[in-house]
Structure 1
Amino acid sequence: MAYDNDAVYELHDQLMRKSAQMREALEQTSTQSAEDPTGQVSVRLDDPAIEITVGSFWRTSIRPEELSGVILETVNTVLLSRLEAWGASFTDDAPEVAAPPAPSPAIAANEITELVASADGEVFHRNVNRFIETFSTQLSSTLSQLSERAAQVHGGEDSEGHAQVDLDSRGTIVGLRLDEAWLRTADGGDVTDAIRSALSTAQASLSAATPALPFEGTPLAQYAEGMADPVEMIRLLTKGS
């Protein structure tokens, strides 16, 4: 058993180090930028912010009905560049990054033992049964609700309605619509301002719809903290009278 425990802790340590290495690589590649072939559309990603700029002479090389597509293609180029840079920086020979110290399992085990020992047996039994019943009956609807939340698109537009931006649940731009009639006379600064205003509105909508805790608003919300922390789960199951 001691050997098995040592192997588990060694695996945990390796996973923690790899996770830290991945975070370090992501931080180093969080800023990326790109331009379209004409140089009139530029996109800069400084995670999590994204900045889109349309040049003063965009109409000399891009037709109004093509502009939104050019912008989205440039956004995708930036996202792909970041992914490639991250993949290149996270290799087997990447420098080691110290992982945060893991809490001692003995401390958690002792705390759990004390909580169970001091609990009212009847209350503990009732809470465990309630948790099992809730988890088994509500898991499907909770997962469905979380899937729906992840699939939501959050839109925003500027005050004049010239630009409309759609974001997915991760904040990635998945849609852009521009008023083509307005584009025929709008200069680059006007287009840039409209897009940034629409993007800001969409980001505010996304923030308002994103709960602080992943399970918030779902049938399993009351057990959210316990699912991430075994001590908190036992504390939850032993409380009450």
Structure 2
Amino acid sequence: MTVYAIIGGTGLTQLEGLTIRQALHVDTPYGAPSGPLLKGVYAGHEVLFLARHGHPHRIPPHQVNYRANLWALKHAGATALLAVNAVGGIARSAGTGGFCVPHQVIDYTYGREHTFYEGELEHVTHVDFTHPYDEGLRQRLIAALREEGYVHEAQGVYGCTQGPRLETVAEIARMERDGCDIVGMTGMPEAVLARELALPYACLALVVNPAAGKSAGVITMAEIDRVLGEGIEKVKKVLVRMLLG
């Protein structure tokens, strides 16, 4: 039986409707995860939930201990990972309030602990990362979005920046030239660490603002919070629909 781990991003620090059976405080070789792993039942399925930024929301993207988070989830029994990410929209099709289920990623981050394969190794290991997201999980998320009737893009390129600051107009223009459709700060190294642990991984991205230069005004946290408040309720419905399907 598949045990899904849901990794909640900005706006999803707790999962209402989750019947919690156990809060797991897992020690890892990489330090402490962002918080306790909540093990329970959601939409009739055994799931694990972890708030990527902690609860309350306190850990910035560049300081998330991605290795500890992923190692802990696998150690606790997760066999597939569903990541929820708040992102900015670069492509015209990535409108605010809509969703994207990315099929590719470009990593612009630096200085993050991005692999389990380092230190005193018996041999060098390279993982194939041609297709960073699991296609089966992607298609299930897309089907759930379609069934709920939510505006979404069934593919896209996720550009992952360092944060915690937002990007400049020139940086977004560069990313657009590179082929990015959405921009976020937490998609990497999470995706590649999942691949190194052989855990199927997919991303449900909620577009919470136009990227820099893609609207007439400046980006405000008040507007992002407003979109998050509406969008997270949709996220929960999509997750329930997927699990029930």
Q: TM-score range by the shorter chain?
A: under 0.3
Higher strand share: 2
Higher helix share: 1
Q: TM-score, normalised by structure 2?
A: 0.25
Q: TM-score, normalised by structure 1?
A: 0.25
